[in-house]
Amino acid sequence: MRKQFLFIFLALIVANASQAQTRTTRIGYIDMEYILENVSDYKEATAQLELKAQKWKQEIEAKKIDINTLKESLKAEKALLTKELIDERETEIKFLEDEMLDYQQKQFGANGNLIHQKAALAKPIQDQVFTAVQDIAEAKNYDFIFDKSSDLTMLFSNKRFDISDQVIRVLNRTDKREQLTKKQLKDQEAKESKENAIDENPAMADRQKVLDDRKAAREKLIEDRRLEQEAKKKEYDDRRKAILAEREAKKNGTVSEPAKTTEAAKTTETGKTDATAKPAATNETTPPADPAVNKAEERQKLYEQRKKELEERRKKIIEEREAAKKAKEAETQKSNTTNN
């Protein structure tokens, strides 16, 4: 029994040793500069610091302009000044130059305010990054995680070992969790589990990318169709307004201004309308008009044509009567002349 127990114990030791040897070492890296650029708090603070740096630069430029003005003035008046006054002016200029250089070094030097304030801004974010890196390393069994932007020389780095985006997601989750309700928190955890699964499986990440691309293409197609429908609706409304305006203009006996504008626009777009042709005579296919409007136009044309025919017949009858009257008068006059 004792030998059997010893054999089992040795077998377990060998199994654990072989498992430790066969397990691959997991290595990852982060890009601290990339992470800082994608953290909103750090970006806002950096923008404020940049405004302050611009103010410092403007002050230095103003000092340089004052110094150059003094130099030009001394150069122009040097022939009229005594040696003592020249030395005094040069001393003043040298003092201002030293003061300007000291101020420049103080703000932008290697140990200047700009460097110190940048480090102060990055420090709390870096602490959060280190905490997030430790959490990711423990959760996903990483053995080593390097910083790509540090002094460590990385001659080659495969993108699939980059966990910078995972760190950014952890930082954003920490900020969002404080404002989420229980239901939102549950949904967020499910989303995080899905993202973690994608990070662990590159093939799943590729499939997710394909699905995201398809979703984006589908949303774009839907948006294009919606815009097309809105354009058709607008065209229909404009056409309807033009027809109503033309009908109203015919009732009032005036020319519809929208109709004029529409015809002029069609003439400009097609470029096929002759300068002496009527505005409505274009080679473009005109939109279908309202049937009621067509019937009203036909009745109007028939009425005008009938009116014209009646007018011509009346003129012809009057002319015949005049001719008969003149012939009768001529005959009467001839008869009287013969009797006399």
Give 205: exposed, middle or buried? Use CB within 10 Å, 0-12, 13-18, 19+: middle
What would the mean pLDDT of 215-225 be, rounded to a whole number? Answer: 85
Contacts of 258 (CB under 8 A, 6+ apart): 241, 242, 245, 246
Which tens digits make up the pLDDT trace of 62-109? 999 999 999 999 899 888 888 899 999 999 999 999 999 999 999 998
- pLDDT on residue 256: 47
291 pLDDT band, cuts 50/70/90, is low
Least-confidence region, from 152-156, 182-186, 225-229: 182-186
- How far is the CA of 211 from the CAs of 207, 208, 218, in angstroms? 6, 5, 10
Least-confidence region, from 84-98, 248-262, 266-280: 266-280
276 pLDDT band, cuts 50/70/90, is very low
Please choose, from the candidates 251, 237, 2, 36, the residue with its C-alpha nearest in 3D space to the C-alpha of residue 148: 36
d(CA 52, CA 54): 5
More confident site: 213 or 196: 213
- pLDDT on residue 64: 93
Question: 22-26, 231-235, 295-299: which has the highest mean pLDDT?
Answer: 231-235
Q: Which helix (H) or strand (E) holds 288?
A: none
Please choose, from the candidates 137, 173, 119, 111, the residue with its C-alpha nearest in 3D space to the C-alpha of residue 28: 137
Output the pTM of the full model. 0.42
Residues in the chain: 340
Does residue 50 register a pLDDT over 50? yes
Which tens digits make up the pLDDT trace of 122-148? 888 888 888 888 888 888 888 888 888
Q: Are 29 and 148 in contact (CB under 8 A)?
A: yes
What would the mean pLDDT of 52-56 be, rounded to a whole number? Answer: 92
d(CA 108, CA 59): 13
Least-confidence region, from 93-97, 207-211, 309-313: 207-211
Does residue 186 register a pLDDT over 80? no
Please choose, from the candidates 136, 166, 162, the residue with its C-alpha nearest in 3D space to the C-alpha of residue 149: 162
| DSSP annotation of 25 | P
230 pLDDT band, cuts 50/70/90, is confident
- pLDDT on residue 275: 42
More confident site: 320 or 208: 320
- pLDDT on residue 91: 93
Least-confidence region, from 61-65, 208-212, 253-257, 280-284: 280-284
Least-confidence region, from 40-49, 163-172, 248-257: 248-257
